[in-house]
Amino acid sequence: MTKDKVLIFDTTLRDGEKSTGATMTHAEKLEIAELLDDMGVDIIEAGFPIASEGDFNAVSEIAKRSKRATICGLARANYKDIDRCWEAVKHAGSPRIHTFIGTSPLHRAIPNLDMDQMAERIHDTVTHARNLCDNVQWSPMDATRTEWDYLCRVVEIAIKAGATTINIPDTVGYTAPAESAELIRKLIATVPGADDVIFATHCHNDLGMATANSLAAVIGGARQIECTINGLGERAGNTALEEVVMALKIRGDIMPYETGIDTRKIMNISRRVATVSGFAVQFNKAIVGKNAFAHESGIHQDGMLKNAETFEIMRPEDVGLSGTSLPLGKHSGRAALRAKLAELGFDLADNQLNDVFVRFKDLADRKKEVFDDDLMALVYQNDSGEDRVKLKSLRVVCGTEGPQEADMVLEIDGTDVKTSATGDGPVDATFNAVKALFPHGARLQLYQVQAVTEGTDAQATVMVRMEEEGRIATGQSADTDTVVASAKAYINAINRLLVRREHSSPGYDTKGVSYKDN
């Protein structure tokens, strides 16, 4: 049977990055964009170019480096936004401008436009975008709470003005599957010119229905799904890419559509996005959660041993997991490590492999068995050597009688400095030592410890989120010693904040979207 193609539009770098605290560095954005392109994403929404110099530079650089994917930037419904967006995306082999305006009664009230004035604005801005770029996407924000007749009217205007993709956003996660399908069906059936454009669906997960609503929209006729890796996104997040893609792959019998995604690359990018965004994936998350392919109960294990299909509807290998665990220990060599990393989806250059090998040997000396997750943590450990602040040594004295004491040596801009600090517990003492050596005004927003493997010798992954004058940075590190992991994660966050200080352009609100005229 020939299957209809559904385009995958990834907005991890734009809508996903809007999650509170999920800001990524320039280098991280380029890396994620490359992984998305490699896995077969059709359109990458790389950012909101007018939001800041940082966003503009990231979108331009992603556009310049793009290989196969269309690179899209977001713009509000005004000429200045659209021009800036074009300046950034025009470098791509295949550029797209995505312009939007809120069309529901609540959103129309913000710029204080009546229905006719808004219709005129849509006509003018889509025409302007189309004069710059052949590929224009238009979105009526909060479409699912817009009067359907008015929605049909403005969609027709956008199509006539030259939009090539019409995206229907469920901005606040309000719709439900039957309605989602019905709305797309109605638009396609009634709007003149609908057959000449692609309809897209863009859902948020406020009621936990984003995946179902997106698939229902496809059944209703949409041929582009907008989504993010791990469902990253504002509030409850966006539709998760891995969920819709795997649902279409596994249930082709009732949903005869295909995507161009190489699903074996899903786990790797999921882990990378979790690391750079600081948003850990919940253990029982569909497709990419740690437990998604784990079977613990006796009955399940028994069934799995007899026939994996008893309790598994997809093969772990299809999402990039190694079905079996190859134990690596201190006697393993470089070749075994390289083979294992390749199996996990990492293609490291020789010098990177050497660095990981040194860390691997160090860990294997302290730990009986090194598991897949341990290796991931080692690969992602941030020791690029470019950080301004580095941990040289740490000794913490603990006991039942407080306060705890931390003796620390840091290298700051190439010079070693040391101190002793006390605190309410070993982690507090450690953080106080960092503060004494590198005074800063950043506030600790979140401190989270996760054991990535089992046992008392497990590696702990620590994540900290810090905030300084509205800038947020997350730091992450892994070590068998939780306090050392905490110190490194804290220092990692500080280094990221320092980078952000240099790149931020104060005064521009990148989170809220306001309707300002030119």
The 10 Å CB-count burial string (b at 16+, else e) for 281-314 is beeebebbeeebbebeeeeeeebeeeeeeeeeee
Residue 458 carries which DSSP code? P
At its nearest, how many Å lie between Zn ion and the CB of residue 243?
16
Residue 139 in contact with ligand KIV, rule: CB under 6 A: yes
Does residue 269 contact residue 32 with C-beta atoms inside 8 Å?
yes
* Residue 141 binding: pick among ligand KIV, Zn ion, none (C-beta 5-8 Å cut-off by kind): ligand KIV
Spell out the alpha helix ranges (H) of 90-164.
105-109, 115-132, 148-161
Phi, psi torsion values for 355, nearest 5 degrees: -60, -45
Q: Which window, 9-17, 76-84, 314-322, 408-416, contacts Zn ion (CB under 5 A)?
A: 9-17
Q: What is the smallest separation between the CB atom of 203 and Zn ion, expressed in angstroms?
A: 8
Amino acid (one-letter) located at 286: A
CB of 334 to Zn ion, least distance (A): 45
Count of beta carbons in the 10 Å neighbourhood of residue 483: 21
Distance of CA 171 to the CA centre of its chain: 18
Q: Answer yes or no: are the C-beta atoms of 293 and 316 closer than 8 Å.
A: yes
Q: How far apart are CA 310 and CA 14, in angstroms?
A: 39
- Can you list the alpha helix ranges (DSSP code H) found in 145-203? 148-161, 177-190
Minimal distance, residue 59 CB to ligand KIV, in Å: 15
State which residue, 202 or 340, has the beta carbon closest to ligand KIV. Answer: 202
CB of 143 to Zn ion, least distance (A): 11
Distance in Å, CB of 499 to ligand KIV, minimum: 26
What gap in Å lies between CA 47 and CA 61, rounded to an integer?
11
Closer of 15 and 405 to Zn ion (Cβ): 15
Stretch that binds ligand KIV, among 22-30, 163-171, 299-307, 489-497 (CB under 6 A): 163-171
Least separation in angstroms between residue 513's CB and ligand KIV is: 7
Choose from ligand KIV, Zn ion, none: what does 139 bind? Cβ within 5-8 Å by kind.
ligand KIV
84 binds, among Zn ion, ligand KIV, none (CB under 5 to 8 A by kind): none
Closest CA to 488 of 446, 460, 467: 460
The residues facing 74 across adjacent strands are 98
- Considering only residues 386-445, where is the footprint of ligand KIV by CB under 6 A? none
Q: What share of the chain is helix, strand, coil (3-state, %, to 5)?
A: 45, 20, 35
CB of 11 to ligand KIV, least distance (A): 7
The residue whose two tokens read 């529901």 is 104
Q: How far is the CB of 29 from Zn ion (least distance, A)?
A: 18
- Residue 15 interacts with ligand KIV (CB under 6 A): yes or no: yes
Pick 79 or 174: Cβ nearer ligand KIV: 174
Per-residue contact track with ligand KIV, 189 to 218, x per CB under 6 A?
Answer: -------------x-x--------------
* CA–CA distance, 433 with 427 (Å, rounded to integer): 10
Does the footprint of Zn ion cover residue 15 (CB under 5 A)? Answer: yes
Q: Judged by CB under 5 A, which stretch of 11-19, 50-58, 432-440, 510-518 contacts Zn ion?
A: 11-19
Pick one of 12, 146, 165, 171: the residue that binds ligand KIV (CB under 6 A).
Answer: 171
**Is residue 130 within the footprint of ligand KIV (CB under 6 A)?**
no
Written as six digits, the tokens of 72 are 């899209």
Out of ligand KIV, Zn ion, none, which partner does residue 373 contact, by CB within 5 to 8 A per kind? none
Dist CA 350 CA 341 (whole Å): 12
Pairwise CA distance, residues 45 & 139, whole Å: 13
100 binds ligand KIV (CB under 6 A): yes
DSSP 461-494: EEEEEEEETTEEEEEEEEESSHHHHHHHHHHHHH
Contact of residue 175 among Zn ion, ligand KIV, none (CB under 5-8 Å per partner type): none
Phi, psi for residue 464 in degrees, rounded to 5 = -125, 145
Pick the closer one to ligand KIV by CB: 125 or 492.
125
- Name which of residues 47 to 66 contact Zn ion (CB under 5 A): none
* For Zn ion, the closer CB: 11 or 450: 11
Residue 141 is a binding residue for ligand KIV (CB under 6 A)? yes
| Least gap, CB of 507 to ligand KIV (angstroms) | 22
The one-letter code for the residue type at 377 is A
CA 95 to chain centre: 21
Contact partner, 355, from ligand KIV, Zn ion, none, Cβ < 5-8 Å per class: none
In the chain, the N- to C-terminal Cα span, in Å, equals 51
List contacts with ligand KIV (CB under 6 A): 15, 100, 139, 141, 167, 169, 171, 202, 204
List residues binding Zn ion (CB under 5 A): 15
